[in-house]
Amino acid sequence: MAVRPKSVKSVAVTAADGGTAPTVQAGSTIQLKAVATLADASTIDVTASSQWASNAVSKATVASTGKVTGVAAGTTEVTATNGDVTSSAVTVTVSA
């Protein structure tokens, strides 16, 4: 379902299992989920329609689907953007 960008008020990112402190091993993947709160206070899953970013791709990369792949031990901050609204960063910890 396409979401009109101006109707998105906020975007929240969590691990797909609902956790807020995602951890992944180097060489493995985890799925993140993006949920938008709309102007009418309803929520919708926007994982597939968001643009994802990792601020430390040497530690973990994030695909356009929200799937994070651990690269090396450390942390990275991941955000999802839907329309002109960007989520708060979620820290992903990568273990060796």
Tokens standing for residue 72: 């090396």
Q: Where are the domains of the chain?
A: 5-95
- Cβ count within 10 A of residue 66: 21
Closest CA to 13 of 38, 30, 32, 40: 32
The mean per-residue pLDDT over the stretch 34-62 comes to 96
Asked if 35 contacts 11 with a C-beta cutoff of 8 angstroms, the reply is: yes
The count of C-alpha atoms lying within 13 angstroms of the C-alpha of 18, restricted to the half-sphere facing its C-beta, is 0
21: pLDDT confidence band, cut at 50, 70 and 90?
A: confident
CATH no., domain 5-95:
2.60.40.1080
**pLDDT tens track for 64-91:** 999 999 999 999 999 999 989 999 999 9
- For 15, 31, 44, 70, the CA distances from 26, given in Å and listed in that order, are 17, 14, 31, 4
Record the pTM.
0.89
